[in-house]
Amino acid sequence: MSYVRIWVHVVFSIKRRYFKTLEMPGMDILREHIRSQCTRKEIYLDSVNGYLDHLHLLISLGKQQSIADVVHSIKGEASFWANKQQLFRHKLQWQDDYWAVSVSESQVSRVRNYIVLQQRHHQRKTFADEETEFLEKYGWTKIQDKNENI
């Protein structure tokens, strides 16, 4: 038997972030739907939360799962379902891209807490500021998508 635990912090945002699509109570309903769909698809989702224009997830990949497949599955199913339910005032569309970073076992509770406290966190910091902070923290270079501002 194989034993695998690969923690990943994933963040993705809505397309054209000027629509603050993920409003309450729809956000609560969407989070619960994502949780149930992850359980059904055997995706281990520890935490999911976000703010008006993005979501954070803490997942643990199974031995046959890739980050790309898991994120694609979550994003596609969530937007399809939310739009069918007319959960939000605006159509829910995710940006194609996302970011994902591995999390060491010793940092899981810290990341989980960060995700749980998203609403409070974003009262002080915008998603754009948060994104810049992550880019600097992890040494990534932002590549502007030619369709990002459309």
Round to whole Å and give the CA distance between 87 and 92. Answer: 9
Round to whole Å and give the CA distance between 118 and 106. Answer: 21
pTM as predicted: 0.82
Reported as a single tens digit per residue, the pLDDT across 38-91 is 999 999 999 999 988 899 999 999 999 999 999 999 999 999 999 999 999 889
Reported as a single tens digit per residue, the pLDDT across 1-18 is 788 899 999 999 988 765
Query: What superfamily would CATH give domain 6-138?
Result: Transposase IS200-like (3.30.70.1290)
pLDDT for 150: 40
Reported as a single tens digit per residue, the pLDDT across 12-38 is 998 876 567 788 899 999 999 999 999
Q: How many residues does the chain have?
A: 150
Domain parsing of the chain, residue ranges: 6-138
Q: Please check the confidence at residue 149 and state whether its pLDDT lies above 60.
A: no
pLDDT band at 119 (very low <50, low <70, confident <90, very high): confident
